[in-house]
Amino acid sequence: MVRIIPMASSIRPSLSSFRFSGGVATSRFGASISPLRLPRLSHLSSSVPQSQFFGLKASKLLKTAGTRVPPVGNAVQASTAAAQETALEWVKRDKRRMLHVVYRVGDLDRTIKFYTECLGMKLLRKRDIPEERYTNAFLGYGPEDSHFVIELTYNYGVDKYDIGTAFGHFGIAVEDVAKTVELIKAKGGKVTREAGPVKGGSTVIAFVEDPDGYKFELIERWPTPEPLCQVMLRVGDLDRAINFYEKAFGMELLRTRDNPEYKYTIAMMGYGPEDKNAVLELTYNYGVTDYEKGNGYAQIAIGTDDVYKTAEGVQLFGGKITREPGPLPGINTKITACLDPDGWKTVFVDNIDFLKELECESPSVEPVVPAPSRSRRLEIGSPIVVIEAPKVIKTAASVPCLRANSGLVKPGDVGRIVSRKPKDVWAVRLAIGTYLLDGKYFKALEFDESEG
Q: Which residues are catalytic?
A: 217
CA distance 62 to 95: 33
Q: Three-state SS for 426?
A: strand
Give CA separation, 175 vs 144, 163, 221, 372, 419, in Å: 22, 28, 6, 51, 40
CB burial string 35-51: b at 16+ within 10 A, e below: eeebeebbbbeeebeee
CB burial string 350-375: b at 16+ within 10 A, e below: bbebbeebbebbbeeeeeeeeeeeee
User: Are 372 and 386 in contact, with CB atoms under 8 Å apart?
Assistant: no
5, exposed or middle or buried, with CB in 10 Å at 0-12, 13-18, 19+?
Answer: exposed
CA distance 89 to 406: 45
What phi, psi does 346 have (nearest 5°)?
-135, 140
Which residues, including other chains, have CB under 8 Å from residue 393's CB and lie 6 or more apart?
Answer: 402, 403, 405, 408, 409, 435, 436, 437
Residue 128's beta-bridge partner residues? Answer: 135
Q: Which of 90, 108, 113, 76 has its CA nearest to residue 29?
A: 90
Q: How many CA atoms lie within 13 A of 347 on its CB side?
A: 27
DSSP 350-364: EHHHHHHHHHHHS--
Which residues, including other chains, have CB under 8 Å from residue 146's CB and lie 6 or more apart?
Answer: none
Q: Which of 179, 281, 304, 184 has its CA nearest to residue 228?
A: 281
Q: Three-state SS for 282?
A: strand
* Helices first, then strands: H and E counts in the chain: 7, 26
